[in-house]
Amino acid sequence: MVNLSHHLLADFRKYNPNSGIIDLKAYYRGFRYVREILKMLPEKPEPILLAQIFAKLTYARTYSSHFYRH
């Protein structure tokens, strides 16, 4: 699992340079929660809307995590 997490973290750091393993875990946990919530909707949203929802949620998480670190 260590090799996998380091590989994922290297890709993740391309867009979030100051991130660590905890940020990576939070990102994927958030992704799972969004996916589960979207399953509860009566109709599946368009793919572009899904991307926008996830981008907004992950931006909010990234902003807040960097805010609390400093």
pLDDT in tens, 3-12: 888 888 898 8
Task: Indicate the burial class of 51 (C-beta count within 10 angstroms; 0-12, 13-18, 19 or more).
Answer: exposed
Chain position carrying tokens 């940020």: 23
Residue 30 has pLDDT above 60, yes or no: yes
Residue 13 has pLDDT above 50, yes or no: yes
Chain position carrying tokens 């990576």: 24
Nearest to 19 by CA among 33, 4, 6, 35: 6
Please give the average per-residue pLDDT across 24-30, as a whole number: 85
Rounded percentage of the chain residues whose pLDDT exceeds 70: 80
Nearest to 65 by CA among 7, 12, 23, 14: 23
Distance CA 17, CA 45 (A): 31
Residue 29 has pLDDT above 50, yes or no: yes
